[in-house]
Chain A
Amino acid sequence: MLNTNLKHITSEADFKQVIESNEKVMVCCGRMGPMCLPVYDIMEDLEEKYESVVFYDMAFDSPDAHVIRNHPKSAGFMGLPFTYYFKNGEAVEATSSIQSKKQVKELLDKHFA
Chain B
Amino acid sequence: MNKITDTYDVIVLGGGPAGLTAGIYLGRAKLKTLIINEGSIGGQMVLTHAIANYPGAKVDISGRDLSLDMKAQAKTFGCKIESNVEVTSMDLSGELKQIEIDDDEVFAAKAVIVATGGTPRSMGVPGETKFKGSGVSYCATCDGDFFEGKEIIVVGGGNSALEEAVSLTQYASKVTVIHQFDHFQATEHAVKIARENEKIAFIMESEIQAVLGDQTLTGVELMNMKTNQRSIVSTDGIFVFIGYVANTVALPGSLALNSRNEIVTDAAMMTNLDGVFAAGDVREKRYRQITTAVSDGTIAALSAIDFIQS
Q: Footprint of B on A, CB under 8 Å? A: 31-38, 41-42, 45, 76-80, 95-98, 101-102
**Interface majority SS on B: helix, strand, loop or mixed?**
loop
* Extra inter-chain contacts (13) besides given A41-B40, A78-B133, A101-B85, CB under 8 Å: A33-B141, A34-B46, A35-B139, A38-B39, A38-B40, A76-B134, A78-B135, A78-B146, A79-B142, A80-B143, A95-B133, A97-B133, A102-B86
**What is the distance, in angstroms, from A80's C-beta to the closest C-beta of chain B?**
5
Answer yes or no: B237 CB below 8 A from chain A CBs: yes
* B134 close to A42 (CB less than 8 A): no
Identify the closest chain B residue to A96 (Cβ): B133
**Interface majority SS on A: helix, strand, loop or mixed?**
loop
* B46 close to A80 (CB less than 8 A): no
Other-chain contact of A101, B46, B49, B84 (Cβ < 8 Å): B84
CA distance A95 to B133 in the complex (A): 8
Instruction: Tell me whether A32 and B64 are in contact in the complex, defined as CB-CB below 8 angstroms, given that A41-B84, A78-B143 are known contacts.
Output: yes
Identify the closest chain A residue to B47 (Cβ): A34
**What is the distance, in angstroms, from B83's C-beta to the closest C-beta of chain A?**
7
* B215 close to A76 (CB less than 8 A): yes
CB-CB contacts below 8 Å: B213-265 with A:
215-216, 237
**What is the distance, in angstroms, from B229's C-beta to the closest C-beta of chain A?**
30
Interface residues in B, total, Cβ within 8 A: 28
24 A-B interface contacts by CB (under 8 A)? A31-B142, A33-B49, A33-B139, A33-B141, A34-B47, A34-B142, A35-B139, A35-B143, A38-B40, A38-B84, A41-B83, A42-B40, A45-B83, A76-B215, A76-B216, A77-B146, A78-B134, A78-B237, A80-B143, A96-B133, A97-B133, A97-B143, A98-B133, A101-B86
CA distance A70 to B48 in the complex (A): 29
User: What chain B residues lie within 8 Å of A34 (beta carbons)?
Assistant: 46-49, 63, 139, 141-142
User: What chain B residues lie within 8 Å of A32 (beta carbons)?
Assistant: 62, 64
CB-CB contacts below 8 Å: B56-88 with A:
62-64, 83-86
**What is the distance, in angstroms, from A94's C-beta to the closest C-beta of chain B?**
11
Answer yes or no: B115 CB below 8 A from chain A CBs: no
User: What chain A residues lie within 8 Å of B62 (beta carbons)?
Assistant: 32
Other-chain contact of A77, B49, B134, B142, B147 (Cβ < 8 Å): B134
* A79 close to B216 (CB less than 8 A): no
Answer yes or no: B269 CB below 8 A from chain A CBs: no
* A37 close to B64 (CB less than 8 A): yes
CB-CB contacts below 8 Å: B75-107 with A:
83-86
Identify the closest chain B residue to A76 (Cβ): B134
